Structure 1
Amino acid sequence: MTMHTAEVQTRRPSGLKPHTLIASDRVEGTPVRRPNGEKIGAIQRLMIDKLSGNVAYAVLSFGGFLGMEKKHLPIPWTRLKYDLAQEAYQVDLTDEELTRAPAYEADEEFDWGDRSQEIVIHHYYKAPRYWGV
Structure 2
Amino acid sequence: MMTDVMTKPHQLIASDRVEGTAVRRPNGDRIGHIERLMIDKVSGKVAYAILSFGGFLGMGTNLLPLPWERLTYNTTFEAYQLDIDDEELKRAPSFRADKDFDWGDRSQEAELHRYYHTPPYWGAF
TM-score by length of 2: 0.91
Partner of 2:115: helix, strand, or coil? helix
Which whole-Å CA distance do the structure 2 matches of 1:33 and 1:115 have between them? 28
Any unmatched runs of 5+ in structure 1? 1-12
- Structure 1 consecutive aligned stretches of length 4 or more whose deviation exceeds 2 Å: none
User: Is 1:82 aligned with 2:73?
Assistant: yes
Q: Which position in structure 1 is the counterpart of 2:85?
A: 94
Report how far residue 69 of structure 1 moved. 3.1
Any unmatched runs of 5+ in structure 2? none
Look up the equivalent residue of 1:48 and give its one-letter code. Answer: I
Look up the equivalent residue of 1:36 and give its one-letter code. Answer: N
1:44-68: per-residue Cα shift (whole Å, max 9, x none)?
Answer: 0000001110000000001115xx9
Partner of 1:25: helix, strand, or coil? helix
* 1:1-133 matched pairs, under 5 angstroms: 15-64=6-55, 69-133=60-124
Which whole-Å CA distance do the structure 1 matches of 2:114 and 2:14 have between them? 29
Look up the equivalent residue of 2:108 and give its one-letter code. Answer: Q
Instruction: Give the percent of matched residue pairs that are identical in Structure 1 and Structure 2.
Output: 66
Which whole-Å CA distance do the structure 1 matches of 2:112 and 2:21 have between them? 22
TM-score by length of 1: 0.86
Q: CA RMSD in A?
A: 1.4
Which whole-Å CA distance do the structure 2 matches of 1:14 and 1:93 have between them? 40
Higher helix share: 1
Report how far residue 14 of structure 1 moved. 5.8
